[in-house]
């Protein structure tokens, strides 16, 4: 689906969709419980449904887990499946079969699993790997700068094993907020994880033979990752203002950092309960370390494109292995609409211009690229055409409905 976005200032209120990160974790913990609680998820998405479908597959003797395009589903369930099964097959679509699973793969191979890679096509999906052999406990060693999703997968799986285990992180842990979110959910399900830390490198000690014991029915939090698009839309709309509802100001989600970043860029942020009002007088540049907030980079790049001064986004190298190469994608998209932007090996350098211009950009089959470029239309002097806008269904199927409710205008081409 190609769409044309007509430039408009946005104003009004919007409700947060359910956090994909929190929903994945709650669903997995619930499925591993002997008496699974009901998990309430206000709004769903393709990634959340991929996790739900895969968890149903785990009831089978040889599960075939189609992860769709969800990297979280794949990386969380690789060790979980092999803690429970002797054999499992993992499928994926889009860019997922090409996205890395090392060094998790090598650590699992060192602990009883054998990976067989055939890359056969099965319908719309492609086989990522077949795994044989139960996962065994022991010492797992992972760097902290590759993917926090590997750590989360092991934290879910290792309490189920007979043996005690330890996860040693060998370099300072990036995206720590996502691991903290995992630990918070596990604690609620009475899974005990002991943590020691030295120079930013944590070690997680996990006893085997634990049981998942839910506290009762639970609800997924509002999503800070997706509400970030409306936060930036609010500061780009200047004094019009956008109210964002249904978000927990005490959430462990790392992308809650969007509020402080918005303030640093000149945003006026007023918090009240589970709502925030966002607006601004003018935007200014800032220095952004993206190591803990990689998912915010696309929309922060849009904010920087018309901010006064030069914004440097760095420590963002992991964005090259997301649904798209997000650094290259944002460089390409913003360049096409008149931004002064330079791509670096691990980041972006953006000098603000007074206004963007219209143009045609690819959505790169990436939900965050599509949403970011839609918000960019607020500061454009003419329409922006986005090719492949249906990518928003991955995490936020109602994005364009909410955009329209805030005064946005678009038409399907």
The pLDDT tens digits for 266-317 are 999 999 999 999 999 889 999 999 999 999 999 999 999 999 999 999 999 9
Give CATH for domain 20-219.
3.65.10.10
Give me the percent of the chain exceeding a pLDDT of 90.
91
Compute the Cα dihedral for 93, 333, 308, 5 and give only its sign.
Answer: negative
Q: Which of 316, 320, 318, 322 is nearest to 304 (CA)?
A: 316
Q: Is 368 within any annotated ligand binding site?
A: yes
DSSP state of 33: B
Q: What are the structure tokens assigned to 215, written together?
A: 């506290």
**pLDDT (mean) for 39-44:** 92
The pLDDT tens digits for 233-269 are 999 998 889 999 999 989 999 999 999 999 999 999 9
State the residue for tokens 């639970």.
218
Angle 310-311-315 from CA coordinates, rounded to 5°: 140
Q: Which stretch of DSSP H or E encloses residue 304?
A: helix 297-305
The pLDDT tens digits for 402-412 are 999 999 999 99
3-state secondary structure of 405: helix
Question: What was the pLDDT predicted at 125?
Answer: 85
Q: What are the structure tokens assigned to 288, written together?
A: 């952004």
Question: What was the pLDDT predicted at 230?
Answer: 98
Mean pLDDT, rounded, of the chain: 95
Residue 117 in this model has a pLDDT that exceeds 90: no
**pLDDT (mean) for 150-179:** 96
CA dihedral 224, 229, 235, 239 (to 10 degrees): -100
Question: What was the pLDDT predicted at 321?
Answer: 87
Q: Please say whether the beta carbons of 222 and 248 come within 8 A.
A: yes
Question: What was the pLDDT predicted at 120?
Answer: 73
Question: What was the pLDDT predicted at 37?
Answer: 95
Q: Is 175 within any annotated ligand binding site?
A: yes
Q: Is 85 within any annotated ligand binding site?
A: no
Residue 119 in this model has a pLDDT that exceeds 80: no
Q: Which of 60, 61, 94, 43 is nearest to 74 (CA)?
A: 94
Angle 68-19-39 from CA coordinates, rounded to 5°: 85
Give me the percent of the chain exceeding a pLDDT of 70.
99
Q: Is 98 within any annotated ligand binding site?
A: no
DSSP state of 16: P
Q: Is 92 within any annotated ligand binding site?
A: no
d(CA 278, CA 258): 11
Q: Is 190 within any annotated ligand binding site?
A: no
**pLDDT (mean) for 382-386:** 98
State the residue for tokens 């290259």.
328
Provide the β-strand partners of residue 18: 222
Question: What was the pLDDT predicted at 121?
Answer: 73
The pLDDT tens digits for 64-95 are 999 999 999 999 999 999 999 999 999 999 99
Question: What was the pLDDT predicted at 238?
Answer: 86
List the catalytic residues.
295
Write down the domain spans for the chain. Answer: 3-17+222-412, 20-219
Question: What was the pLDDT predicted at 239?
Answer: 80
The pLDDT tens digits for 315-372 are 999 899 889 999 999 999 999 999 999 999 999 999 999 999 999 999 999 999 999 9
| 239 exposure class (CB count in 10 Å sphere: 0-12, 13-18, 19+) | exposed
Superfamily of 3-17+222-412 according to CATH: Enolpyruvate transferase domain (3.65.10.10)
**pLDDT (mean) for 160-184:** 95
Question: What was the pLDDT predicted at 46?
Answer: 94
Alpha carbon separation from 87 to 98, 128, 184, 262, 302 (Å, rounded): 22, 14, 30, 47, 45
3-state secondary structure of 288: strand
Q: Is 99 within any annotated ligand binding site?
A: yes
| Residues contacting 113, CB < 8 A, separation 6+ | 82, 131, 132, 133, 134, 135
Question: What was the pLDDT predicted at 175?
Answer: 86
Q: Please, what's the b/e burial string for 202-213 (b: 16 or more CB within 10 A of its CB; e: otherwise)?
A: bbbebbeebebe
Q: Is 19 within any annotated ligand binding site?
A: no
State the residue for tokens 């990689």.
294
Q: Is 102 within any annotated ligand binding site?
A: no
């Amino acid at each position: 689906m190609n769409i044309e976005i007509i430039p408009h200032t946005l104003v009004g209120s919007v409700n947060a969709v359910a956090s994909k990160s929190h929903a994945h974790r709650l669903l997995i913990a619930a499925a591993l419980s002997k008496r699974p609680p009901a998990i309430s998820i206000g709004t769903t998405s393709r990634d959340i449904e991929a996790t739900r479908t895969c968890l149903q597959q785990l009831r089978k003797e040889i599960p075939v887990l189609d992860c769709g395009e969800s990297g979280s589903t794949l990386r969380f369930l690789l060790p979980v499946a092999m803690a429970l099964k002797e054999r499992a097959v993992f499928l994926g679509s889009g860019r997922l079969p090409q996205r890395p699973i090392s060094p998790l793969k090598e650590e699992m191979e060192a602990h009883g699993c054998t990976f067989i890679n055939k890359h056969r096509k099965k319908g719309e999906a492609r086989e990522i790997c077949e795994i044989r052999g139960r996962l065994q406990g022991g010492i797992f060693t992972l760097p902290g700068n590759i993917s926090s999703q590997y750590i989360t997968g092991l934290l879910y799986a290792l309490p189920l094993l007979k043996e005690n285990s330890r996860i040693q992180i060998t370099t300072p842990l990036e995206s720590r907020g996502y691991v903290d979110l995992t630990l918070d959910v596990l604690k609620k399900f009475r899974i005990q994880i002991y943590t020691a830390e030295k120079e930013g490198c944590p070690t997680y000690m996990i006893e085997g033979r634990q049981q998942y014991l839910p506290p009762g029915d639970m609800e997924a939090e509002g999503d800070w990752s997706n509400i970030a698009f409306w936060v930036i839309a609010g500061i780009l709309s200047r004094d019009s203002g956008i109210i964002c509802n249904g978000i927990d100001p005490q959430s462990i989600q790392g992308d809650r950092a969007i509020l402080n970043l918005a303030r640093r860029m000149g945003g006026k942020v007023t918090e009240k309960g589970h709502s925030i009002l966002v607006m601004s007088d003018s935007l200014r540049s800032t220095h952004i370390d993206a190591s803990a907030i990689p998912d915010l980079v696309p929309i922060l790049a849009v904010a920087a494109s018309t901010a006064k001064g030069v914004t440097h986004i760095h420590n963002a190298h992991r964005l090259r292995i997301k649904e798209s190469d997000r650094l290259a994608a944002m460089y390409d998209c913003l360049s096409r609409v008149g931004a002064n932007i330079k791509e670096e090996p691990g980041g972006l350098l953006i000098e603000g211009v007074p206004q963007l211009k219209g143009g045609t950009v690819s959505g790169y089959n990436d939900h965050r690229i599509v949403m970011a470029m839609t918000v960019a239309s607020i500061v454009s002097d003419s329409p922006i055409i986005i090719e492949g806008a249906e990518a928003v269904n991955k995490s936020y199927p109602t994005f364009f409905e909410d955009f329209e409710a805030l005064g946005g205008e678009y038409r399907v081409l």
